[in-house]
Structure 1
Amino acid sequence: MSDARIYATYWIETAFPLEQAAATMAGEQSTGTFVRVPGETDELRAAHAARVEEITELGEVALPSLPGSGLPKTGDATRRAARVVVSWPISNMGLSLPNLLATINGNLSELKAFSGLRLLDVKLPAEFLTRYQGPQFGVAGTRTLAGVHDRPIIGTIIKPSVGLSPEATADQVRVLVEAGVDFIKDDELQADGPHCPFEQRTSAVMRVINAHADRTGKKVMYAANLTGEIDEMLARHDHVLAQGGTCIMASMNSIGLPAMKMLRAHSQLPIHGHRNGWGMLGRSPAIGMSYIAFQKLWRLAGIDHTHVNGIANKFCESDDSVIASARECLTPMFDAPHPGCEIMPVFSSGQSARQAAPTFAALGSVDCMFAAGGGIMAHPAGPAAGVRALLQAWEAAVAGVPVAEAARQSPELEAALAAFGG
């Protein structure tokens, strides 16, 4: 195996000297323990010890961000924050995403020396592409299957999340495809419940989508939530494919990286990676990991699109964090000439025509899905007007026309701005 290295960047908070704290991180996640042991030879350390590559002090911290941290023997309680870069030889864990995760985000969060420790980013060598396939469709392939180019893919979600029968779900899909939407997804809570079995639901939905495609030539992409045990997911994929479907969806945190790798190897359809549960890893600024680091692991495992939240969303994430995540999805993971593994960012969470302009201004691209539930279904003039309002808002944003000015010529957009104010 080559001498390539993995680089991980962290934010840390500690009362210990920064160099000592960083060395503790490197030792804990490679060759070291709390004392030197006989087998830890100089030769072994030279070959396998993690290296502290960089320490950037960020200033003092008044109070510990997390409970349970300790103080150095000197008793000095001055806590400082820093940005630390640590690297490992790829030979430590091999080409394995599960073992990579154990290395870069394993016991570190529990170390007593730290009152805060968060993974910010990870840079992987291209050798990982010899084992992991990365996205099969990505941005370009998704656009081809959806038949949408040069603008965002306008999407929505089946609501209510649970409780609908297969027939009722298909009825809602009929309304949405006739409204002109490009993409529809199951809610992550709806997979294969007894009131709405997966095969019955997807068959009913695809009959509607296929009939609409036969009439109009437009085949709406439907992300069917196949989350489950590995054998179930593979069988569900095959059912969607047989029904003429063009997308599948899986809850990433629920199935894990190895299951996603297997699903990607089997799949002939784009994989819509749902990030539900990411808040447990990402919400606290003092622990867990950033979405920038998180999505890289899943891109390599094989997802083609993933949620990044949305501007002025209903959750707790800031707009800056949302846009940073979306930009990263569109940024190559590896240096040329290796595949970039770019994927489609999905904006969602309380989105409406009002967010089109600020989203485009911040992202600087139309390579995204823009998903609205209430922003489509609750439009005063109905779902078709809701879809048209979103298209009008994005057209104005790309043209640099203020949305209020565009609304004077577009009654659907004008009504959307009035309905979804605030």
Structure 2
Amino acid sequence: MIQEELSKTLNPKQVQYMRMDLPDPRNGEYLLAVFHLIPSGELNIMQAAAEVAAESSTGTNFAVKTETPFSRVMNALVYKVDIEKNLVWIAYPWRLFDRNGNVQNIMTYIAGNALGMKEIKALKLLDIWFPPSMLEQYDGPSYTLDDMRTYLNVHDRPILGTIIKPKMGLTSSEYAEVCYDFWVGGGDFVKNDEPQADQDFCPYDKMVKYVKMAMDKAVKETGKKKVHSFNVSSADFDTMIERCEMIREAGFEPGSYAFLIDGITAGWMAVQTLRRRYPDVFLHFHRAGHGGFTRPENPIGFSVLVLSKFARLAGASGIHTGTAGVGKMAGSPEEDVTAARNILKVEGKGHFFTQNWGRIPPQDDDAIKMVEMDDAHHVVLEDDSWRGLKKCCPIISGGLNPTLLEPFIDVMGGIDFITTMGAGCHAHPRGTRAGAMALVQACEAYKNKIDIADYAKDHRELAEAIEFFSKKKKK
């Protein structure tokens, strides 16, 4: 009844962006979005919702004389409102968007100017849904976690990684030495920290050269493959590509390197350029800056789930999804684990929508089988990738240490992720190599279903890690 009364307050322009009787929002014509919306000034929620739909699709603050019957077909449509919870559902005709699979273009619409409107006090994009007909236009990941597992021959545990610390200030040689120590300690994966670039004390070309030498030595000594993720984020397109080519020409074995891009600050164009130019390389999306949009207390922006879904759509092989409250970063299982599962699965339940990442109808027998195989932890979408978008890997960093590996696995509900512990390895009382060994031992304890305190009785490095991090926790 309240909704009907509020609908009567809409002006003729606003009415054009409302369709509370939209017969079938999931018919394949629309991208669906749910916003938390609090109006500003004198507008009620129905009026504000219509203004958001207008601003984020075809309209502006007034009706214009240049509209055509066809342009009105492209209007975004408010099709559901929860007045008590200040929630608004909007259907966007996906033909609005650049037909070349352009994620930047979608974000410019639905999380662009609308976030700056004075008619709203809060506007947070909480969840989105992509129809199969739209997924057809987008790349999705190419090189996946499964490909990295095959390269490393690691199938029964998380990929164990680190971020080099201190995050800045090491020379190229010092940086490579820390990589070597982690790798010979048993670690799999090393990444540049997200500000790593071409600093004068650590020239990029030397860093690449020395990391290659350190990796070769570590592989020879351990007999196991290793991976390094290089930050290729740059001031311009040409420099980004130069860095990629420098890495490829340095002699690294295919599979032993990843390209890290600071996706929020470098932009979606950089992400999709890398995906399209280098489909045989793991594309590592670091989300530095995301908190300005995603933190729950921020009233304007978008959720971790939305960011993660767009990363998969754009073709990222993996994206940082948070530690679900286990580590040092803000986050909760509801937010971070929901995001992680949505980018890992063929079908994932979000905050409001269940997203099926298949390009074929979900009721198709092969589509149903694909979901069942995925739930049973079989590799899917490898030899039939026309059927859907491949998985995107959660990358977990921010305050974890060997004592928190099992608690995080329990919260996550699985082992399909890359963990990148920084201080959790490098702060070990006997340094990086011992820190890597402690991480490996914590993982062994988990795999063997042994309490880490018991396992530590025969494993010095783990015992030292438990003592050290327990003391730090009490302070």
TM-score by length of 1: 0.87
Output one character per residue of 1:89-125: Cα deviation in whole Å (capped at 9) or x when no partner: 1222233322211111122222233211101122223
Q: After superposition, where does 1:319-398 map in structure 2 within 5 Å?
A: 319-332=333-346, 334-335=357-358, 337=360, 338-397=387-446
CA distance in 2, matches of 1:104, 1:198: 37
Task: Identify the residue that residue 5 of structure 2 maps to in structure 1.
Answer: none
CA distance in 2, matches of 1:186, 1:44: 47
CA distance in 2, matches of 1:84, 1:382: 52
Output one character per residue of 1:173-230: Cα deviation in whole Å (capped at 9) or x when no partner: 2212211110111111111122212111111111110232234331210111111122
Q: Is the Cα–Cα contact under 8 Å of residues 159 and 189 in structure 2 kept in the other structure? A: yes
Q: Is the Cα–Cα contact under 8 Å of residues 132 and 359 in structure 2 kept in the other structure? A: no
Q: CA deviation at 1:138?
A: 1.6
The partner residue of 2:267 within 242, 256, 260 is 256
The partner residue of 1:241 within 248, 259, 262 is 248
Q: Is the Cα–Cα contact under 8 Å of residues 300 and 341 in structure 1 kept in the other structure? A: no
The partner residue of 1:110 within 113, 116, 119 is 116
Q: Is the Cα–Cα contact under 8 Å of residues 152 and 366 in structure 1 kept in the other structure? A: yes
User: Which range moves more in the overlay, 144-153 or 324-333?
Assistant: 324-333
Task: Identify the residue that residue 39 of structure 2 maps to in structure 1.
Answer: 14
Q: Is the Cα–Cα contact under 8 Å of residues 233 and 263 in structure 1 kept in the other structure? A: no
Q: CA deviation at 1:401?
A: 4.5
CA distance in 2, matches of 1:24, 1:288: 17
C-alpha spacing 1:166/1:412, structure 2 compared with 1 (3 Å):
closer
C-alpha spacing 1:257/1:17, structure 2 compared with 1 (3 Å):
same
Task: Identify the residue that residue 170 of structure 1 maps to in structure 2.
Answer: 176
Count the aligned residue pairs.
398
- Stretches of structure 1 lacking an aligned partner (at least 5 in a row): 60-80
CA distance in 2, matches of 1:396, 1:85: 46
Task: Identify the residue that residue 327 of structure 2 maps to in structure 1.
Answer: 313
Which letter maps to 1:28? E
CA distance in 2, matches of 1:364, 1:153: 15
The partner residue of 2:276 within 243, 265, 276 is 265
Q: Is the Cα–Cα contact under 8 Å of residues 37 and 45 in structure 2 kept in the other structure? A: no
Q: CA deviation at 1:42?
A: 5.2
CA RMSD after TM alignment: 2.4
CA distance in 2, matches of 1:329, 1:400: 28
Q: Is the Cα–Cα contact under 8 Å of residues 121 and 292 in structure 1 kept in the other structure? A: yes
| Mapped pair 1:297 → 2:322 | no
Q: Is the Cα–Cα contact under 8 Å of residues 145 and 221 in structure 1 kept in the other structure? A: no
C-alpha spacing 1:215/1:126, structure 2 compared with 1 (3 Å):
same
CA distance in 2, matches of 1:323, 1:396: 23
Which letter maps to 2:65? P
Task: Identify the residue that residue 221 of structure 1 maps to in structure 2.
Answer: 227
Output one character per residue of 1:153-184: Cα deviation in whole Å (capped at 9) or x when no partner: 11111122222221121222221221111011
SS in structure 2 of the partner of residue 94 of structure 1: coil
SS in structure 2 of the partner of residue 218 of structure 1: coil
Q: After superposition, where does 1:267-282 map in structure 2 within 5 Å?
A: 267=278, 268-282=280-294
Q: CA deviation at 1:402?
A: 4.2
CA distance in 1, matches of 2:193, 2:424: 16
Task: Identify the residue that residue 62 of structure 2 maps to in structure 1.
Answer: 35
Which letter maps to 2:438? A
User: Which range moves more in the overlay, 324-333 or 272-281?
Assistant: 324-333
Q: After superposition, where does 1:67-216 map in structure 2 within 5 Å?
A: 81-95=85-99, 96-216=102-222
CA distance in 2, matches of 1:145, 1:133: 23
| Mapped pair 1:5 → 2:30 | yes
Identity of aligned residues (%): 30
Q: CA deviation at 1:140?
A: 0.4
CA distance in 2, matches of 1:279, 1:384: 32
Q: CA deviation at 1:319?
A: 4.6
- Stretches of structure 2 lacking an aligned partner (at least 5 in a row): 1-26, 347-355, 361-386
Which letter maps to 2:462? L
SS in structure 2 of the partner of residue 323 of structure 1: helix
